[in-house]
Structure 1
Amino acid sequence: MENNREFTIKQERSLDIFDILTFFWRKKYRIIITAALMASLGAYYILHLPKMYVASSILLLSAKDSGLTLPTSLSSIASGEDSRQDTYIEFMRSRQFVQTVVEDLALYNLHEYQQSGEGHFVSEKDYATDKLLKRFNVTKLSNTDMLKITVESSTPSSAAEIANHIGPAFFAYYALMNRQKADSKSQWLNNQLNELKTSLSESEERLLAFLRNNELVDVASQVDLAKSEIAGLIEQKIQLDRAVAESNGSMLQVATISGGLQDYLQIPAIQSNPLIRDLRIRRGQQQLLMDGIAKRYLHKHPKYIAAKAGLEAIDSEFTMLINQLVNGLRSHNQTLKTRQQEIIEQIQQTKVRHANLGKHSMQISRMQREIESTQHLYEMFLSRLQETEILKDLDDRNDFAIVDSASEPTFPAKPRVVMGIALAIIFSSVFSFGFWLILHLISDKYTRFKSILSNVDVPILSLVPRIKRKKGRKNKPLALSMQSEGERNFHYFEAIRSLRTGVLVKNNQRKNAVIAVTSIGDQDGKSEISTSLADSFSRMEKTLLIDVDLRQPAIGPMFDIDPKLPGLTSFLGKKSSFTQCIHSVHSSPLMLMPSGPIPTDPLAYISKPRFAAFLHKLRNYYERVLIETPPINTVSDAIAVGKFIDGVIIVCDVEKNESADLLLALQRVHEAELPILGVVFNRVKDFRSSMHKRQSIVTRVKRAMGLG
């Protein structure tokens, strides 16, 4: 955990304060010269700027409302006006007022207000006006009613003259504008009054015509009367509804009776009739009489016959009365329903009349409000017109005063030479430091890569230059053409020998029998480096080159080996023997083992115990075994192989790779705790200068090891 923390700290310390101070010390003369040159140019520019003199005067403004704002609509009368001082400032800054100052002082005849011989020409007055607008400023003095007028000019007299003239010119201009505004305001108010008077008359005529057409006198009384009438009709309707309900109940009972007279007596309307009650009493008495006679006499007896006839007469009368009552109920029910319908129609008619009265009342109220509003506006405009007429001829010039007149300045206000030169020196120094520091930070990638490796204590094994390959040999190993090409690629082969020497130097500290060659990304040239390094070792000791890049194998095609021939995967899969899987190289003592058939899961092959045992046995047969693995930033095959090797060489393409890519590769190697031998910078453009710097060191190392 502590090692990981230290490694991260070393990565982040890419450019500490000591490095910056050291860089500034090395570049001190360039920084000083650059800063001095820029400061001299700045001072020269400042000293040759035209001198400008500033004169100022102070004005006391009116303490009352300006009244210059002309309303353009009815709503603008009640709206608030802008700040008084802001209004005065805008008047003074207006082009029209400034042009009057130019004409009063004939500034267009002064040299500084005349056009030069170049550019687009405008009239003399317009050009002088634009010039004065740029050199003329008005500011408010806080917590006062005073304004400060400041004028810049190339001559002291012109600055003071213009500053002193602006105040009186503004007073006169303001008074003139005030009178013009008052006249315009009076005219506008007169026009508005005429329009309001016409509108008021039309509104009154419309109200009278509406009352005549609808025959309305007192609308409020008519509305109250309609409300009372509706309330009475609704009360009658409620009583009729109750009576109709009772009558409908009686008629429903009548309709359901199918028996004799006693069933009709169950109806309350019939039962409560006085005649029915009398008949029922009389029949009861006659029935008692009949019962007594029947006990004493036979049915042929005259008394019995007379009593029976009396009872039948009462029953006949009873029947006739009940029929009359039933017919009366039917007639009463029909009468109630008819009256109910009439009451409903009366209520509806009264409601319609009430609604119409309500509409008329609303219309009348709207007309009355319109008349009142127009009348109010008319009175307000009439009052404003009277005020305007009273104040129309008053002169506001006595409300202004010049508090402090401008005097001719003695010293120029611009440019401020001392401050300008001081700022130029400061800016030049900061710019010079930043300029050279930025150039240092955006220098060539080799310098940044070298700084990164120095911070993480990883050595640079070799700088391999970019070379031009012959046509038709772009995918062939350069090591095999070393003898035939002679001095054509001398720097490339010398870099390979330097790489071999660097590995041998490491070999004195630790036996690096099995070495893995990987790269940061694809197409970084690791196959060229691994084959060239293996060929260089093979001329000194027994060497085997193994292609463990089971994803994109390149060594076999480089040496024109048939991809169907057995290789590493064939041996690990126990399909071929070791002797069948290794191949010799023409014109080189190097032995190599291609990848063989590409498996579906390359990582599973190199993770087998058979692969580890295989590498262990190779140490007994070969003095040097080089293994090419896939890029370390792309897949984890190199990390899996790293468990069984003595050292790792990382190939970095200085043109394609970035600092973040190199840091990621070093971080992965460190986290996997792989023994890293160093980094090879491949395809270096400015190779000769780098080689000259390292040549003496390499030569001394060769001599010390007896390899020269």
Structure 2
Amino acid sequence: MDTNKSQETTSRLISDDVIDLRQYWNTINRHKWGIFGFAIVITMLTTLVVFSMKPVYRAEATLLIESKNANVVSIEEVYGLDAGNSEYFLTQFEILKSRQLAERVIEKLNLIDNPEFNQPPGVIASTLSSVKALLPLGVQPEVSEEEQARIKLQEVTTQLIENLTISPIRKTQLVKISYDSFDPLLSAQIANAIGDAYIENNLEARLQLTSKASEWLMERLSGLRDKLKTSEQRLQEYREQEQIVGSDGGFDIANSELDLVSSKLVEARRERMALESLNSQIKRLDKSNPENFELIPAVLQHPLVQSLKGSVLQVELKKSELAKRYGPKHPKMQAAQSELENARRSLNSQILSVVNGIENEYKLALSAERSLQAAVNKTKQDLQSINRKDYRLKELEKEVDANRQLYDTFFTRLSETNATGDLQSANARVSDPAQPPQKPAKPKKGLIMALAFVVSIMFGVMFSFLLEALNNTLKSAQDVENKLDATMLGLLPKLPNKGKNHHQSYTAYLQEQQSAFAESVRTIRTGIVLSALDNPHKVLCCTSSIPGEGKTSLALNLAFSLGQMERVLLIDADMRRPSIARAFGLSGKAAGLSNLVAGTAKLEDSIHHDEQSGIDVLPSGIIPPNPLELLSSRRFAKVLEILETKYDRIVIDTAPTQAVSDALVLAPHVGAMIYVVKADSTNHQLARNGLKRLKEVKAPLIGVVLNQVDIKKAAKYGDDYSGYYDTYGYTAEEQTA
């Protein structure tokens, strides 16, 4: 059970995360007439407002702003100006919207006295002025005529700037000057006047810039001339002091000498290292035995040593041949031995000579290396001295070159500025003058009305979603299962209103056996019967959250449907607001349940038989002062036990759970309890609290019945109730056929 419950909870959470677009569509479809009505009303109001507005005309003039001036002399270069960037154009756009240009146009066109700039104040402004006049703000100071004129100029300037629009055209040097006015001719005049005022203002600014530049250049030129002479004198004095000759001061010669001596030093070091290795080998050997030096390759490979070595070998070969024929004391053997000794002495003498020569060469190489190293060090010192002089020389030369270049630049600019001061040209021109527009630019009536309709539709949809979110009632079987976590036993469709019969649901089952309402009652009956086949629910109790949800109607029609198959007793246990007796046409003073439990009436007198439905009815009887104590008494339990022996099924109509506790008291005595909820009316939290109270007393709740469901509306808006009721029935025509 716990596993199944956890699986159901998991599946419900997964389904909650899925966006059901059909539910959104059903919400919109349910409120569509309200949405369209709201949209139509808003659109009509917008139409009235739009057609009452005064038309505004817009004239456009196109101005070409050149990024580079057409001047013969580029005076901006003196100040380091760069007109080729985006900041330049953004600056020009702000100048076009400046108050200075606006005041030029106002003065040129005399807009102070123009009727458009002297409109009477509106209703809101007039009201505010009246309120300010009534408020105790103290005595206002008198304003002079000059101050009034200044304030008026500011107001007109502000109004002109508000109606002015500057729109640059992307990737071009063109900008559109647009002005909105009630007068088409005035809008064109102001747009053209703005462009002309910008050109005139630019020319005046350039003339002032040229004049100021000439004055500044003259002041700077005299100081630059003295600075250049001073730097040239310092350069010449330094050359004479350091005895510098040539352009580089001997740097190239010293550098070449250093390269040559360095290469010689590398060769001498390489030769010294080779001789040092031989010398070290020689010093490890004893000179008294020259034959040891034959192991040194440099000695052995010497040509004289190799020649003498060959002579020794020949003599030894000769001696060995003679030894084969003669003895050691033979004269020939003695002569050969003497010859061998002479050859050996000559070889040893030559080996020693080669060894001494290697030692002398090593000493000479070491001496040469030291001499070259000293020469390199001296050359480096000389080169460093030359570098220090050259560094200072370069500094002085750069100073002279910079001063001369700056002097030449200023001199050239001064000459050009003085010579071409009158050749200034504007950086802009009007490429397309504004023409008086033929049609108003705003209000765009069609667009405004369309936008009003679309926006009102959107607000209507949002409001419908808000209403749907705020609606916490139970409308469908899905709401019963999800919000109440209860079993859906069935539903009863809403009956059409017929005249003054406010309780037509009491007799709807008997009067229309083939109607959808009757089929719904039979579906509920079937569900009750199938819920306990082995141990049928003999005592059924109908209750609800609050009065008016249809528990009495369900009890009546359920008793009627069960009465067609079994012997049924209908008990009215709602002793606070009884209605069963009135439904069957019984008197309010007729004996009933209260009389039977109290013992003031017999069973035969308290039970009334209805001939039309075939069931027995036990009305509430006389309303007691303490109904709860009566229902919780032992006598009531005894009476219920006796009635169970006489009837196959007992249906009890009791009071709502949220009003009183009668249903909670009856719960231990009944076999099944049915909870009735009115569709699209009952608060789901209220119903949930009622079910919670029943569960706390372990009431045998078998399901919930959703009452007064608008079937046509539910089918139209996409709600699905299949499986809970059967609308299939037979009409009179079909039966005849």
- TM-score computed with the length of structure 2 as normaliser: 0.47
